[in-house]
């Protein structure tokens, strides 16, 4: 059965829009997300456009800062520093990956935990690891919402995450662990990958390799979540070979229309929560 990310996402955004309305009535302003993009990578441009459109959909304010590749890093850093001080800005997001030559850690470290709507900073990752999350990284957070929509009890399930990035794989593994799954994280150096994936009740694939997960790597009845968005010959495909895997899976996310829209919904949710927390802490 398909997990319709677009549908779950629509329901989530209706709730967020209501939250934005309540926030505006209470505090006399709208939550605001600032997005910074460096360079001309088409995939990043598309993601950022969808983030801005997402803000409009829930009546949130967005600010977009576009810097051409080659911009002096300190100019970008100074923009972040200004946004940090701006009381009307609730969330700051630097679209990743940055072009070669930029120091990702240096720029991300300028964003305080209170405005870290990506959930990337050390304290947000640390709190997640401790099982007491504050802001959760948007993609893994969205995946958890999609898993919840299946109605399947996650406790005790074998969950396998393929990919160990700081943005998806690692926080994903921690969320599944917090949900009482038995979690295995696989990556490019993993041996006997198929033996491990064949044992998975839940498979989350986030490696950025088109159609990597084949039918013979999947157990009958597994739940398969495809985080990949790859452009091949002009169309989008995931990290899962959908035609091979779909007949075996009990639930599977399509690409597009699966994890992607959910990621943006959780970003909007995180921005609303950051705005509420900032207002409540200001009083």
- Cα–Cα distances (Å) from 231 to 104, 204, 208, in that order, read 25, 19, 10
Site string for ligand GUN, 154-193 (x = CB under 6 A): -------------x--------------------------
Distance (Å, whole) CA 29 – CA 86: 13
- Phi, psi dihedrals of residue 261, rounded to the nearest 5°: -60, -30
Q: Does 270 bind ligand GUN (CB under 6 A)?
A: no
User: 3-state DSSP helix/strand/coil percent for the chain, to nearest 5?
Assistant: 45, 15, 40
Distance (Å, whole) CA 114 – CA 8: 27
- Cα–Cα distances (Å) from 87 to 167, 197, 236, 278, in that order, read 27, 47, 39, 9
Q: Does 201 bind ligand GUN (CB under 6 A)?
A: no
Q: Does 52 bind ligand GUN (CB under 6 A)?
A: no
Q: Does 96 bind ligand GUN (CB under 6 A)?
A: yes
CB of 118 to ligand GUN, least distance (A): 5
Q: Does 116 bind ligand GUN (CB under 6 A)?
A: no
Q: Does 55 bind ligand GUN (CB under 6 A)?
A: no
Residue 60 burial (C-beta neighbours within 10 Å; 0-12, 13-18, 19+): buried
Q: For residues 41 and 246, which CB has a smaller minimum distance to ligand GUN in the complex?
A: 41
CB of 35 to ligand GUN, least distance (A): 8
- 95 in catalytic set: yes
Residue from 90, 118, 239, 241 carrying the catalytic annotation = 118
Q: For residues 222 and 237, which CB has a smaller minimum distance to ligand GUN in the complex?
A: 237
Q: Which residues are catalytic?
A: 51, 95, 118
């Amino acid at each position: 059965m398909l997990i319709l990310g677009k549908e779950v996402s629509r329901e989530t955004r209706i709730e967020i829009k209501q939250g934005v309305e309540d926030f505006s009535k209470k505090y006399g302003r709208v939550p605001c997300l600032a997005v910074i993009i460096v360079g001309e990578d088409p995939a990043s441009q598309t993601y950022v456009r969808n983030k801005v459109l997402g803000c409009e959909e829930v009546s949130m304010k967005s600010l977009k800062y576009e810097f051409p590749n080659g911009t002096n890093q300190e100019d970008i850093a100074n923009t972040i520093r200004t946004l940090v001080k701006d009381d009307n800005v609730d969330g700051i997001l630097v679209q990743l990956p940055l072009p070669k030559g930029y120091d990702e850690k240096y720029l991300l470290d300028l964003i305080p935990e209170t405005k870290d709507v990506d959930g990337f900073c050390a304290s947000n990752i640390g709190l997640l690891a401790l099982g007491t999350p504050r802001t959760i990284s948007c993609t893994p957070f969205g995946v958890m919402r999609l898993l919840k929509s299946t109605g399947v009890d996650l406790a005790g399930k074998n969950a396998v995450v393929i990919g160990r990035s700081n943005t998806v794989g690692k926080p994903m593994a921690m969320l599944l662990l917090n949900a009482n799954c038995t979690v295995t994280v696989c990556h490019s150096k993993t041996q006997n990958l198929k033996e491990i994936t064949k044992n998975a009740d839940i498979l989350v694939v986030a490696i950025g390799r088109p159609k990597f997960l084949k039918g013979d790597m999947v157990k009958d009845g597994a739940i398969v979540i495809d985080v990949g968005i790859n452009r091949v010959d002009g169309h989008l495909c995931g990290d899962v070979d959908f035609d091979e895997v779909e007949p075996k899976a009990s639930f599977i996310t399509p690409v597009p229309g699966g994890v992607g829209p959910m990621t943006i919904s959780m970003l909007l949710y995180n921005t609303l929560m950051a705005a509420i927390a900032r207002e409540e802490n200001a009083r």
